[in-house]
Amino acid sequence: MKTKKQLLFLLIVALIIFCNTNSVAQCAMCKTSVESDLKNGGSIGSNLNMGILYLMAIPYVALIFGGYFFFRKQINAKLKIWKEKRFPSKQIN
């Protein structure tokens, strides 16, 4: 049973790797707009690239903030231990 699953997995990976087709990353309207603007000497292509980077960064920022709020207690506890080791407070006995 396990070997059948492994064989199926390898077959799927092989199909993904070897049946690669060329894909266009932009919609037809965006591509046409950028191409016509570049022919006219415009710079909309760089603005489009900045927009893509902006859209790519949003999920990472959301994951960082979500992870911080989810693990906040554990992070604060580890920071407290680290501070106590690095900067021991003066105790009055």
46, part of any domain: no
pTM value > 0.75: no
16, part of any domain: no
How confident is the model over 42-90, as pLDDT tens digits?
777 777 778 888 888 889 999 999 988 888 889 899 999 998 888 887 6
DSSP string, 13-50: HHHHHHT-----SS-HHHHHHHHHHHHTT--HHHHHHH
Q: Indicate the residue type of 60.
A: Y
**Number of domains into which the chain is organized:** 1
24, part of any domain: no
Q: What is the span of the domain harbouring residue 81?
A: 58-87
